[in-house]
Chain A
Amino acid sequence: GAVVSQHPSWVICKSGTSVKIECRSLDFQATTMFWYRQFPKQSLMLMATSNEGSKATYEQGVEKDKFLINHASLTLSTLTVTSAHPEDSSFYICSAPGRGGTEAFFGQGTRLTVV
């Protein structure tokens, strides 16, 4: 299978600060990556689609000015949570299609805690 790596695995930040999460495809090029969010004991919800070289597309209800997505290369997408608040505390996880384009693979996720 494909390898998708996320960094950091966990982060604690103060309310009002910004946090950047990286998602890398290690062994293939990904023109599209996806960002999901999972609250405790809940399922994963798609937040946005990250498009290499163009703007991200956001799902309904997701604030694009709060969750900044940059996909500057074929192997890296970043999600920046700006002016984080405690309600942004969640598990953020990215995905990318594998080589051969048959299935999606996920990073290990980032647990964000805003205090």
Chain B
Amino acid sequence: GIQVEQSPPDLILQEGANSTLRCNFSDSVNNLQWFHQNPWGQLINLFYIPSGTKQNGRLSATTVATERYSLLYISSSQTTDSGVYFCAVGSDYKLSFGAGTTVTVRA
């Protein structure tokens, strides 16, 4: 199956800082999504981005499909950004998840 590697595994930020999360994957895919898992376990859709660049407020993402990686940018981080960020890739809606990046934003 497709291998998905996320880095770093843990990230501690001071409020207001910027950060970059990376996702590498081992094969061509037609679906790549970024999620934020809240403390209750729900997966919040951040981006559907099999290629290209998107922005939504303080978050943006870029996927370079030919080089099999994606980046998630968090700017001006807030304490509410804390949680686990997952990258998931696959064919259509059948997804393989990375191990996640645990982000802690300190006030």
Contacts and interface: CB of A to CB of B under 8 A. Distances in A.
Interface string A96-115: 11000011111011010000
A95 interface: yes
Nearest to A96: B93
Contacts of B48: 102-103
Interface size for chain B: under 10, 10 to 19, 20 to 34, or 35 or more residues?
20 to 34
Interface string B30-74: 010101000011110100100000000000000000000000000
A62 to B, nearest CB: 13
A46 B95 contact: yes
Given A34-B94, A49-B94, A97-B92, A103 B86 contact: no
Nearest to B38: A108
Interface in A41-94: 42-46, 49, 91, 93
B96 interface: yes
A109 B42 contact: yes
B100 A1 contact: no
Given A38-B41, A93-B43, A103-B45, A44 B86 contact: yes
Contact of B33 (A42, A45, A103): A103
Contacts of B41: 38, 91, 93, 108-109, 111
A43 B86 contact: yes
A96 B92 CA distance: 11
A18 interface: no
Contact of B99 (A36, A43, A93): A43
Interface centre among A95, A104, A108, A111 (most CB of B within 10 A): A104
A32 interface: yes
Nearest to B100: A43
A43 B41 CA distance: 11
Nearest to A1: B45
Given A103-B33, A103-B45, A108 B95 contact: no
7 contacts: A34-B93, A43-B86, A43-B97, A102-B48, A104-B31, A109-B42, A109-B43
Interface of B: 31, 33, 35, 40-43, 45, 48, 86, 88, 92-100
